[in-house]
């Protein structure tokens, strides 16, 4: 039920078209692909970085949480995501310890992963995501 590794680092960007070349062409990271996550009002570009990934996040709507983050802080690191074997159990355990959650129930995120966010007020002011993949969705 514990953390098994760093899944990805989420980076807020104003434009995927402008940001992708840096990560793909200059850093040489393997571009995995781009997808839209409509319920989060975001487009995501994913890159392999060793055992972890880099997730670029572009808002698709002015009322997107990523648009709000860009407005408040500008482009940059948005969150860190940790891999867990069972996100539902981990959320239950954290809630039982009094940890404030943004998501008390896991929801579907990019790549079909089940995710839940810990409120930054309870994680050292770092937006923290828990991420559970099925055996094949991390590779897609």
CA distance 133 to 99: 23
Domain of 85, in residue numbers: 3-139
Res. 140: pLDDT tops 50 = no
Lateral strand order in the sheet of 76-84: 30-37, 42-49, 52-59, 3-12, 76-84, 128-132, 114-118, 107-108
CA distance 73 to 24: 24
Q: What are the tens digits of pLDDT across the range 31-72?
A: 999 999 998 899 999 999 999 999 999 999 999 999 999 999
Number of structural domains in the chain:
1
Q: What pLDDT was estimated at residue 32?
A: 96
Check residues 51 and 135 and name the one with the higher pLDDT: 51
CATH code for position 111: 3.10.180.10
Q: What is the pTM of this model?
A: 0.90
Give the residue carrying structure tokens 């802080």: 73
């Amino acid at each position: 039920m514990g953390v098994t590794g760093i899944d990805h680092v989420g980076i807020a960007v104003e434009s995927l078209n402008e940001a992708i070349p840096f990560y793909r062409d200059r850093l040489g990271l393997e571009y995995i692909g781009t997808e839209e996550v409509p319920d989060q009002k975001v487009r995501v570009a994913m890159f392999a970085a060793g055992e972890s990934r880099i997730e670029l996040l572009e808002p698709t709507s002015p009322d997107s949480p990523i648009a709000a983050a860009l407005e408040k802080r500008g482009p940059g690191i948005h969150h860190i995501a940790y891999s867990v074997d069972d996100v539902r159990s981990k959320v239950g355990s954290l809630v039982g310890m009094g940890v404030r959650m943004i998501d008390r129930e896991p929801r579907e995120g990019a790549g079909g992963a089940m995710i839940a966010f810990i409120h930054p007020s309870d994680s050292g002011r770092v937006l923290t995501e828990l991420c559970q993949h099925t055996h094949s969705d991390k590779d897609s």
